[in-house]
């Protein structure tokens, strides 16, 4: 039975801060960086006003924030932090340690481009840069999803089958600072859904001493890595189970991805984050003209739902794979590489073209999506050769 819905208007940062207040984690170390600064600011206000009893730790850098988060989580405290862009890059070493030590930390990442040149606007280069650090990654299209994803993060991370850290990602400024209507859940419903954190192993348990982060010789390190990968694979089931429980609570349905008008679609746009809303609007307008377009909005990037994506695309004629990030590999972006590999492995023979869009906050419009549809249509009918790794909306020289 669904819980009561509380109607509100909030920015994405406010929505995540509200979810944090409802979860009431034990510890939050954080260092400010645009555009995620508001989240620790709001949490600090909640603490000062006596609304939560989280221990806020002001630190001197993002590296220190994740170091403190690792220490707190290892000691048995439910811990979270927030960052963006260069802040996540400065955490790099510690991200790997958090995952390999199997610590269920939650990090709310407000996606912002990595330098240089210096820019504070949205793309996915920060999250994608950390895609192989061992963290589960879940992306939001809008403020509602940012709130909902955060509430689901702890049951996923802390499940004994998983015990891995989770990044909850939303697009900087586009969702983080834009105000939208949102349905909140009651505090008691959220806390019951998340539950209490009772770690089996932790440093401050005097009756059962453990070592966290020890040196591992070659005879054991590879097995530890395999155990970590096994946990990531088991996270697939836990993510879906948690989503099913959350649907019972909220009435809102989540999975690895959302399929929008894809059942009979000939051309599908595959992308993540806020631009999915733009693509959906374009699809609606294309459908009005009898053009069979659809959107596959990827929500869970790690673990990567390879088989499910391949099956969702199997009956289409073509897929436009849209990356808000450049891999600098000379041939495309992260989604372009992983989705095409999924299609190949599962023997899905459709046209697949990788596009780069929206870097450093560059506008991505309904018109762009419609233009891509027309190009993909020509590719699928054999009237045009597919050109990979194109930049959408790139300024042309005169």
**pLDDT score for 2:** 83
Contact 298, 256 (CB under 8 A): yes
Over the chain (398 residues), the average pLDDT of each successive run of 10 is 91 98 98 98 98 98 98 97 98 98 98 95 98 98 98 98 98 98 98 96 90 91 97 98 98 98 98 98 98 98 98 98 97 98 98 98 98 98 96 86
CATH code for residues 257-391:
3.40.50.920
**pLDDT score for 398:** 55
Range 135-159 burial, b when 16+ CB lie within 10 A, else e: bbbbbbbbbbbbbbbbbbbbbbbbb
Contact 138, 300 (CB under 8 A): yes
**pLDDT score for 207:** 86
**pLDDT score for 396:** 83
**pLDDT score for 214:** 87
Beta partners for residue 251, in sequence order: none
Q: Which residue's entry shows tokens 């733009």?
A: 278
CATH code for residues 6-250:
3.40.50.970
Angle at 390 between CA 176 and CA 359, to 5 degrees: 20
Locate the domains of the chain by residue range.
Answer: 6-250, 257-391
Q: Is the pTM of this model over 0.95?
A: yes
């Amino acid at each position: 039975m669904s819980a009561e819905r509380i109607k509100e208007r909030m920015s994405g940062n406010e929505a995540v801060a509200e979810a944090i207040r409802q979860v009431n984690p034990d510890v939050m170390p954080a260092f400010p960086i645009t555009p995620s600064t508001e989240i620790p600011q709001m949490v600090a206000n909640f603490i000062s006003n006596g609304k939560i009893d989280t221990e806020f730790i002001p630190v001197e850098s993002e590296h220190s924030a994740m170091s403190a988060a690792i220490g707190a989580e290892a000691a048995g405290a439910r811990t979270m932090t927030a960052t963006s862009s260069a802040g996540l890059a400065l955490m790099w070493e510690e991200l790997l340690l958090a995952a390999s030590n199997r610590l269920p930390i939650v990090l709310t990442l407000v996606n912002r481009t990595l330098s240089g040149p210096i820019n504070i606007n949205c793309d996915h280069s920060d999250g994608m840069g950390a895609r192989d650090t061992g963290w589960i990654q879940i992306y939001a299209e809008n403020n509602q999803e940012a709130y909902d994803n955060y509430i689901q993060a702890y049951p996923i991370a802390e499940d004994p089958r998983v015990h891995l850290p989770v990044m909850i990602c939303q697009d900087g400024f586009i969702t983080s600072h834009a105000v939208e209507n949102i349905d909140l859940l009651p505090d008691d419903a959220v806390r019951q859904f998340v539950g209490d954190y009772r770690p089996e192993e932790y440093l401050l348990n005097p009756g059962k001493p453990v070592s966290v982060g020890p040196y591992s010789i070659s005879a054991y390190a590879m097995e530890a890595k395999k155990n970590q990968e096994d946990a990531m694979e088991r996270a697939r089931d836990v993510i879906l189970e948690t989503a099913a429980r959350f649907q019972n609570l909220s009435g809102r349905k989540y999975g690895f991805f959302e399929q929008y008008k894809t059942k009979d679609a000939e051309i599908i746009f595959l992308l993540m984050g806020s631009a999915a809303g733009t693509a959906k609007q374009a699809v609606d307008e294309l459908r009005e003209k009898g053009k069979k377009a659809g959107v596959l909005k990827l929500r869970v990037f790690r673990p990567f739902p390879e088989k499910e994506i391949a099956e969702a695309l199997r009956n289409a004629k073509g897929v436009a794979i849209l990356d808000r990030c450049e891999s600098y590999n000379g041939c495309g972006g992260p989604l372009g590489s992983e989705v095409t590999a999924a299609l190949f492995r599962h023997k899905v023979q459709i046209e697949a073209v990788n596009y780069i869009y929206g870097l450093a906050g560059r506008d991505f419009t309904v018109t762009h999506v419609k233009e891509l549809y027309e190009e993909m249509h020509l590719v699928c009918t054999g009237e045009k050769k597919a050109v990979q790794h194109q930049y959408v909306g790139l300024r042309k020289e005169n």
